[in-house]
Amino acid sequence: MTIKVVAISGSIRSGSYNSGLLRAAIEVAKECLQGIEVEFVEISHLPMLNTDLEGPGTFPHDVEAFRKKILEADSILFASPEYNYSVSAPLKNAIDWAGRPPNVWGDKAAAIVSAGAGFGGGRSHYHLRQIGIYIDLHFINKPEFFLNVFQPPAKFDNDGNLTDAATKEKLKEVLLALQAFSLRLKESLYDVLVKAPLSIVTWATLLGAISDQNSLLLTALAALKGFSGPFLG
Ligand SMILES: Cc1cc2nc3c(=O)[nH]c(=O)nc-3n(C[C@H](O)[C@H](O)[C@H](O)COP(=O)(O)O)c2cc1C
């Protein structure tokens, strides 16, 4: 089974390190992993959220297309820069659009990576995880991935492409954890939707058969009692 991952960068600037992480993740998935596909989905063209732009059950064209991508994905890989100790505005905007009813994020597995100064964007992770509670995203807990871009040696080339082998290896570990968790979620959904109803039918059939046998037994006893009333009392 192939897990479809949508990759979203919270930075929409051209030389973004966070987008660079996602391009590297796509490359790692293609070259080193099986059963996982990662697709970069743009958020820069989404309008600012304004519910006046919604019709009855409809959204602006670009928003509809974005929501469809999320709906069709099994899981989400966020590259989340830290803006003022939180997630970036473009990322929050995209999250809000896809969370409008009907919420299309629900029950998907998700992972966060980030690049930046100092803590490497780490503080944005905790706000993103909190947002995930409301929209029913299920984040992997580990491995955590924060990359301090400015700590030598250099991790990116001048075009914002990741060049550091150790960082690529960490990305691979995140993808593997995301894949495993996505499969577990899919299996539990299968259990709930298919296996549980099937076993209910099986049990119901069995109980039905037993109760049929019981009523057969009772009928036989009643008949016997009726026939031999004076003897059985
Ligand atoms: C509006 C804004 C707010 C920022 N706030 C923080 C911050 O709170 N903490 C931090 O470590 N870096 C902060 N930064 C720096 C960015 O995290 C850093 O530039 C990062 O590389 C941006 O990601 P990108 O390269 O993918 O665009 C901020 C940058 C911007 C533009």
The residue ranges of every structural domain in the chain are 3-188
Superfamily of domain 3-188: Flavodoxin domain (3.40.50.360)
Structure tokens at 113: 């990576």
Neighbours of 231 (CB within 10 A): 8
pLDDT the model gives residue 63: 98
Per run of 10 residues, the mean pLDDT along the chain (length 233 residues) is 98 97 98 98 98 97 98 98 98 98 98 97 98 98 97 95 97 98 88 71 64 57 48 38
pLDDT the model gives residue 194: 75
Distance (angstroms) between ligand 1 centre and the Cα of 70 equals: 25
Distance (angstroms) between ligand 1 centre and the Cα of 79 equals: 12
> Which residue's CA lies nearest to atom 27 of ligand 1?
16
pLDDT the model gives residue 211: 62
pLDDT the model gives residue 191: 76
> Which residue's CA lies nearest to atom 21 of ligand 1?
116
pLDDT the model gives residue 216: 54
pLDDT the model gives residue 173: 98
CA dist list (Å): 98 to 41, 53, 103, 106, 136: 13, 14, 6, 10, 12
With a Cβ cut-off of 6 Å, ligand 1 is lined by 11, 13, 16-18, 81-85, 115-119, 121, 149
List beta partners, residue 39: 6
Pocket test for ligand 1, best of 44, 83, 158 (most atoms within 8 A of CB): 83
